[in-house]
Amino acid sequence: MESIDCESTREALSARADGEATSDDLAATEAHLIHCSSCRQYAADVERIDRMIRIRPAEPVPSLVASVTARARPARLGRGGWLRPALAWVAVVMLVQSLPALLFGEASGTSPHLARHLGAFGAALAIGFAYAAWKPHRAFGLLPFTAALVATTTVSIVADIVTGSRTPFAELIHVTELAGLALLWMVAGSPGWRHGRHSRRGRLPQLDPLQ
């Protein structure tokens, strides 16, 4: 076996620490270490530094469990679990109300084409309520669209009553939409009620995205 000098031995030791040394390099290095105390000390230092780098305590990570769960908005079943059945019942009532307009084009004061469009909107909203009653964890995603639809419908109701186009009694049919929105909001976890409490608790700790 060809002997190697100290410089080559130390290069081989570094390669061994990186897992890049060949079997011949390892054999020559071991033979050299038998007779060279300085290289043996160098080898011990390399092994010690390698262990320090590869085996070190994990950096502490702040626990976000309490903060995240405090801000969560889980679906609520309500007292006795009445919210979901109530929302399902509203969905059935709305669907029944929308079917004549959707199927037959019958809606007071509108053309058959417009009546079918209105029936389609009502039936779609009823299906959304039914789905939220079935899958309450999906209720929060449906809430913004439903709130916008009911809000714009309310504006049109007020305008119709003010102009005399419709009577308040005739507009009572939209009570189911308002009830559905309220139930959907409660099933979604009543978002907004706990905003002040979250503000007092403070914000979630920010994590460095590069870490």
Each residue of 8-52: pLDDT tens digit? 888 888 888 878 888 888 888 888 888 888 888 988 888 888 777
pTM of the model: 0.55
pLDDT digits (tens, 9 = 90+) for 108-143: 767 888 888 888 989 999 999 999 999 888 888 899
Cα–Cα dist 89/77, whole Å:
15
- Mean pLDDT is lowest, of 21-25, 179-183, 204-208, for 204-208
- Looking at the structure, tell me whether residues 91 and 12 fall in a common domain: no
Q: What is the pLDDT of residue 17?
A: 80
Cα–Cα dist 61/207, whole Å:
9
Answer yes or no: is 69 within a domain. no
Q: What is the pLDDT of residue 74?
A: 59
- Looking at the structure, tell me whether residues 123 and 166 fall in a common domain: yes
Q: Between 168 and 134, where is the model more confident?
A: 134
pLDDT digits (tens, 9 = 90+) for 154-166: 898 888 888 887 7
Give the residue numbers spanning the domain of 34: 6-54
Cα–Cα dist 141/157, whole Å:
26
Q: What is the pLDDT of residue 57?
A: 65
Answer yes or no: is 36 within a domain. yes
When pLDDT is averaged across residues 48-69 and rounded to a whole number, the result is 74
- Looking at the structure, tell me whether residues 20 and 121 fall in a common domain: no
Q: Between 1 and 35, where is the model more confident?
A: 35
